[in-house]
Amino acid sequence: MDFNVKKLASGAGLFFTRAVQFTEEKLGQAEKTELDAHFENLLSRADCTKLWTEKIYRQTEALLQPNPSARIEEFLYEKLDRKVPSRMTNGELLGQNMLDAAREFGPGTPYGSTLIEVGECERRLGAAEREFLQSAAIGFLTPLRNFLEGDWRTISKERRLLENLRLDLDACKTRLKKAKLAEAKAGCDGEMAPDFQETRPRNYVLSASASALWSEEVDKAEHELRVAQTEFDRQTEVTRLLLEGISSTHVNHLRCLHEFVEAQAAYHKQCHVHMQGLQKELGRLPNASSTQSPSPAPPGSAPEGLGSPVETDTLKIEEVQAPATGTRKAKVLYDYDAADSSELALLADELITVYTVPGMDSDWLVGERGNQKGKVPVTYLELLS
């Protein structure tokens, strides 16, 4: 108990000494130990890194999750060390609503069939967005947060300790200065030789005693100053090494920034491919104007929709009948854009029916997806048993 009281009293005294030193420095009544220019530059660079890393982190977080409530919910789950529940993206929700609407309106109607195509595309876009969000969070947000919550906290802790040791060092310098002034004053008072004819040369004795006491005080202050200087120099070196590590932090964040750009580019490229495929699919579907009031065709002319060369090529492929045996299921490995209307555009991971046709190049098969048919390259497929 006595030890705790003494420790508490010592800590309170140390805090008071630092507060007095800090106040006197602000008032210009005490000198302050200045750090070298290189160290000050390191401090400024570290503060700048922390400031902009925090801003980039917050804005990237808002880009990936614009909903503040959702961000707060994810933050609370992380603090409670619980798994964040899976949440559908807006694209996936829109796609699901479109598919549900298509079932209500009828998939055989022009509006219903179009809703199905657009809904499936929106779901694929939502899945691509989910993959991008996960990649960006792991590859970019996590390193930035690790710096702010890890390295920067360590730097801040060591900087506070360095500032405290600097205050202790300057307090020791002030104490030594005052002790030397008092010793010099006591020495001046004792310069006059004593009158030994007096019965009690009291003034001389007191002066000599005061001079000795102040001499001991000077020795004590010098010892404390040496200890404080050693601790300050040691802490300065530790802090300097941490601040120089900011260069490695910049290199790491640069690599993460490249990964973020690559993930974002891949996401937009995937979205572009999906939208191109959707546009081609919508071009093959009947629209409302063609089904509502078709104009009669002149005698001897080709039926509407079969006059162009592109549609003639499509008709030739559609005239190919699937054999009674020999059809197989195939999984699409990569997205494929049809070069013309005789080919079938493919989307990765979808399943289609394929079969061979006599006389066709061995590098190609005929693929069917619902009522759509066209040539497909064999290298884009994984044939299933």
* pLDDT tens-digit map of 130-154: 999 999 999 999 999 999 999 999 9
- Predicted pLDDT at 182: 76
Give the C-alpha separation, 385 to 381, whole Å: 13
Per-residue confidence band for 41, with pLDDT thresholds at 50, 70 and 90:
very high
Unique residue bearing structure tokens 């959707």: 278
Residues 56-81 pLDDT 10s? 999 999 999 887 877 777 777 776 67
- Residues composing the chain: 385
Q: Of 83, 68, 70, 87, whose CA–CA distance to 126 is shortest? A: 87
pLDDT: is 37 or 34 the higher one? 37
Percent of the chain exceeding pLDDT 90 equals 39
229-254: per-residue pLDDT in tens? 999 999 999 999 999 999 999 999 99
| pTM recorded for the entire structure | 0.61
Give the per-residue pLDDT at 72.
79
pLDDT-based confidence at 193, cuts 50/70/90? very low
Question: Per the structure block, which two tokens stand in for 38?
Answer: 């290189």
Distance CA 324, CA 376 (A): 20
> pLDDT at position 239, please?
95
Angle 202-244/37-64 helices, nearest 10 degrees? 50
On the 0-12 / 13-18 / 19+ scale of CB atoms within 10 A, 73 is: middle
Residue written as token pair 């977080």: 61
Residue 126, both tokens: 């939502």
